[in-house]
Chains A and B, each alone.
Chain A
Amino acid sequence: MGLKRRVGFFAGLKYRGGGPMWAWIFHRVTGIAMILFVGTHIFASFFMQQTGSDFATTINIIYESWIFQIVVVFIVMFHGLNGMRIAILDIWPKFQVFQREALWLQWLIFIPIFGLTVFIIVQRAISGSS
């Protein structure tokens, strides 16, 4: 590879890739966040069920709180929709020229679904019914 890869952090910040660049960054960050949060939740649930550990129960209480649920829904839905855009554009590469339009479409799908979910979760949290 003839690419010059040793680009410092602050030099990297000056790169103006726009929407697709931020989608790439968010895709990585949300992916790692999912490994971290969902992985922790899976192991906490396992130990909660098998040993009844207090620490695991505390982790799951935090994970299942409505604020954290909003974060998790955002992470999973963004990663899913963005991954779908990537996969579709990889299957039909001639649509790559429309990748910025595809990003707008992605947010157009994301915002109503996420907004409705947040509205219902917050509404239920305020009224106190789980």
Chain B
Amino acid sequence: MSSRTVQPGLSFEYVMWIFTRISGLSLILLALVGAISAFALGARTQVDLPTLIRWTFFPNPNHIVNSEIPDIALGWANAFWQVMQILIVFFGVTHGFNGFRVVIEDYIGQSIAKPFIRGLIFLFWMFSLVVAVYVVLFS
């Protein structure tokens, strides 16, 4: 198969296409770090499976309240996990809302509603990020 080299312009769609791949792979990596850490922090004795799954999706101390962990401050709630949560939220929310935008724009095409839908999704994206960072840092 002969291949040709194409130099793509740095358009918004191209950047988001790359971002979707990178953020998707990063989310899998972050989930693996979360799962392995939850095993290391006490899966055998203190953590049940639902908690392990919740921690894998989002390592927030609120996600382990139903487990029999004696002291959450020991390893489960610290600055490292806050950074992890913000990374997961940023990658996940951006990846998700961008994917939502792509799906919607596939079906509406070039319509007069497109800029409004883009603006609405942008507002939802900003709102979700602000809410999530507030929850991670101040609650």
Contacts and interface: CB of A to CB of B under 8 A. Distances in A.
Interface residues of A, number: 33
Main secondary structure of the interface of B (DSSP, over half): helix
Nearest to B127: A43
A67 interface: no
Interface string B123-139: 00000100110010001
B49 A39 contact: no
A61 interface: no
A105 interface: no
B38 interface: no
A130 B96 contact: no
Interface in A74-130: 76, 80, 83-84, 86-87, 90-91, 94, 117, 120-121, 124, 129-130
Given A31-B100, A87-B24, A130-B66, A76 B49 contact: no
Interface in B15-35: 21, 24-25, 27-28, 31
A49 B48 contact: no
What's the dominant secondary structure at chain A's contact region?
A: helix
A60 B114 CA distance: 33
Given A90-B21, A130-B66, A49 B128 contact: no
A69 B49 CA distance: 11
Nearest to A64: B50
Interface string B87-113: 000000000110110010000010000
Sort A-B residue pairs by CB-CB distance and give the 10 closest, nearest first.
A87-B21, A83-B24, A120-B49, A31-B99, A35-B100, A35-B96, A87-B25, A46-B131, A87-B24, A28-B103
Given A42-B132, A86-B21, 19 more contacts: A31-B96, A31-B100, A32-B103, A34-B96, A35-B100, A39-B96, A39-B128, A43-B131, A45-B135, A64-B50, A66-B50, A69-B50, A69-B53, A73-B53, A87-B21, A121-B50, A124-B48, A124-B49, A130-B48
